[in-house]
Structure 1
Amino acid sequence: MASEDVKRSESAAVSTIVKMAEEAKLATEGVKAPSLGFLSICKSLFAGGVAGGVSRTAVAPLERMKILLQVQNPHSIKYNGTVQGLKYIWRTEGLRGLFKGNGTNCARIIPNSAVKFFSYERASEGILYMYRRQTGNENAQLTPLLRLGAGATAGIIAMSATYPMDMVRGRLTVQTANSPYQYRGITHALVTVLRQEGPRALYRGWVPSVIGVVPYVGLNFAVYESLKDWLIKDNPFGLAENSELGIVTRLSCGAVAGTLGQTVAYPLDVIRRRMQMVGWKDASSVVTGGGGSKASLEYTGMVDAFRKTVRHEGFGALYKGLVPNSVKVVPSIAIAFVTYEMVKDVLGVEFRISD
């Protein structure tokens, strides 16, 4: 009897020790998991930021030319087209003029791109989880429409978080060496706008931006991923090798996605830029070189801006600057997507936007 009691005690002691060891292991894993999750988040944000900075710097001259064409007064034309405009800037302002506002642009686009890509991944995970629960199919994948929704969500979050920087960047990009009032930099511009026009001015044009970002960013992600999935699964042109696409093919997917997205959303981008100039007392002189009427820059809201633009300049004014923007968007979006995936590969992050 005594011997059996001892055996039972030994067995109970061993079980207790094993159980404690298992609990300790689980506890250790539980501590490490948040750290690994935090590191993965940082890598994702870093990859998105690098993608945004590289892609925008590559097309900075075209970005400035687009904005100048969008906001110049129709009664005092200084820039007659992309090539002429770039030559004019080179002649009057030099190389620095072509990249004017790029520092501010990168200061805005780096966090914007980081938040956008990260938000898309999280939104995709959430939408896919709800979709699988609704359909009861644990193997279901995102449809193009669901990807559009995830992309739109990511675009709204990223744009709203960095909109004041976009507003200031637009003004820094538009001003020239002959501007009657010079913003000396990002901080000076932010402080000046806040002091002279109030905090609401930093979000002027936000509504058309929200409306425009839905088709723009949504289509970018939806078209890019859908094209990649189609090329990998069906491999119609023999471009996929071992379920992977080459850099040139991925760049082409990004170019198609960017072209479709910006064409749909471009009129709203024009209205947003014009509304951002409202309240800037020297805006008329900046965009017209001293001529023209400031009245064309006075809008009471998005609808009023649309109505006045079409009435005074015609429907084509909603697509002013589309040519340099198209030339800019094709490489910019393509470079952003591919750079993002390549940086994440280098950093060893397994989850990518198409997974």
Structure 2
Amino acid sequence: MASEDVVGKTSETAVSTIFNLAEEAKIASEGVKAPSHAFLSISKSLVAGGVAGGVSRSAVAPLERLKILLQVQNPHSIKYSGTIQGLKYIWRTEGFRGMFKGNGTNCARIIPNSAVKFFSYEEASKRILWLYRQQTGNEDAELTPLLRLGAGACAGIIAMSATYPMDLVRGRLTVQTEKSPQQYRGIAHALSTVLREEGPRALYKGWLPSVIGVIPYVGLNFAMYESLKDWLIKSRPFGLVEDSELSVMTKLACGAAAGTVGQTVAYPLDVIRRRMQMVGWKDAASVVTGDGKSKVSLEYTGMVDAFRKTVRLEGFGALYKGLVPNSVKVVPSIAIAFVTYEVVKDILGVEMRISD
């Protein structure tokens, strides 16, 4: 597949791209901190962001798992018909542990993903702003929403490529049930099994729709969040802003709006990514249906073929399976992440604000 051919090059250059961006931004900046001080500041920021991501994802883990199960379930053997019914079914059949299945892998993925994403966004923003000021000749110019979208897209692509194997494993661990013929015992076992049975390229199945989906999702998140904050501070509508500082609730509203728009636009690509990740897993049909008897077609030749088969066999609405539980978790996830980040930031004395 074309996506598989470019995976190696993308993964190979992801890290070098980050450091190139960092170096260029450092040269363009007005002053440079001592290496040890800069490293400590960045490390503290990444720890705060990682803890916030882990806590927020754990809080909405049941909804995250239900979303994935809705995305990949067999249309001819429906077990999950909605958010409330789906959560009740998981609780009844798998208990408390079933609600959080795959969350350990998710948290393990979130920490490096958040680290790479936010670091990349900060450095890409600095470099893009420097280039923009050089081009316009205006040293006081600020990033436009479109430029922020570009910086967010770069950050999302790099982070997704760097941590994609963990995302694939998380999807499989989340989908499997007690009735699955083969059980992945954990992250390491799942990675080794996929490598042994399906080959290294299998770790990047569904990478192309993931990267394409990341562009509007992460890009819109950053662009809308920062643009909304700037607009509120400058226009001060309805008396929401005092002394050029947004309240916690106003920031949460900005984040919720940005997250909702971004995930709605990118959601169909997320569904296709999940389905492509199941390709090659010989027990995927049994896992998805839960009865070991019914079979579901999981053979796709690529992203376009996956889109075509999904819409033809299940209708356009199938591209938004699991959207409700995904939307329900957006607001509390952002709220918890924000509060946790602020607490950890204060404890560690973080100087640089990743989200701002």
Q: Please give the per-residue CA displacement for 1:301-337, whole angstroms capped at 9, x wherever unaligned.
A: 1011000000000000000001001111222234435
Q: Counterparts of 2:194 and 2:95 in 1: how far apart (Å)?
A: 28
Q: Counterparts of 1:43 and 1:193 in 2: how far apart (Å)?
A: 34
Q: Counterparts of 1:314 and 1:48 in 2: how far apart (Å)?
A: 39
Q: Counterparts of 1:190 and 1:66 in 2: how far apart (Å)?
A: 22
Structure 1 length-normalised TM: 0.88
Match of 2:252 in 1: 251
Moved over 3 A (4+): 291-295, 333-351
1:235 aligns with 2:236: yes
Match of 2:9 in 1: none
Structure 2 length-normalised TM: 0.87
Q: Give the CA deviation at 1:88.
A: 0.6
Match of 1:351 in 2: 352
Unmatched tracts of structure 1, length 5 or more: 1-29
Q: Give the CA deviation at 1:111.
A: 1.1
Match of 1:107 in 2: 108
Match of 1:164 in 2: 165
Q: Counterparts of 2:81 and 2:137 in 1: how far apart (Å)?
A: 58
Q: Counterparts of 2:95 and 2:253 in 1: how far apart (Å)?
A: 32
Q: Please give the per-residue CA displacement for 1:129-170, whole angstroms capped at 9, x wherever unaligned.
A: 111111111111111111111111111111111100000000
Q: Are 1:251 and 1:335, in contact at CA under 8 Å, matched by a contact in 2?
A: no
Match of 2:96 in 1: 95
Match of 1:136 in 2: 137
Q: Please give the per-residue CA displacement for 1:81-123, whole angstroms capped at 9, x wherever unaligned.
A: 1110100111111111111111111000111112111111111
Q: Counterparts of 2:239 and 2:128 in 1: how far apart (Å)?
A: 31
From the CA coordinates, give the structure whose radius of gyration is larger: 1
Note closer, same or farther for the CA distance 1:70–1:354 as it changes in structure 2 (3 Å cut). closer
DSSP-derived class of the 1:243 partner: coil
Match of 1:76 in 2: 77
1:53-68 correspondence runs (5 A):
53-68=54-69
Note closer, same or farther for the CA distance 1:177–1:291 as it changes in structure 2 (3 Å cut). closer
Which letter maps to 1:97? G
Count of aligned pairs between the two proteins: 326
Q: Give the CA deviation at 1:344.
A: 3.7
1:204 aligns with 2:202: no
Kindly, what percent of the aligned residue pairs are identical? 85
Q: Are 1:209 and 1:268, in contact at CA under 8 Å, matched by a contact in 2?
A: yes
DSSP-derived class of the 2:238 partner: coil
Q: Give the CA deviation at 1:345.
A: 4.8
Q: Counterparts of 2:121 and 2:337 in 1: how far apart (Å)?
A: 14
DSSP-derived class of the 1:237 partner: helix
Q: Are 1:76 and 1:291, in contact at CA under 8 Å, matched by a contact in 2?
A: no
Which letter maps to 1:188? H
Match of 2:288 in 1: 287
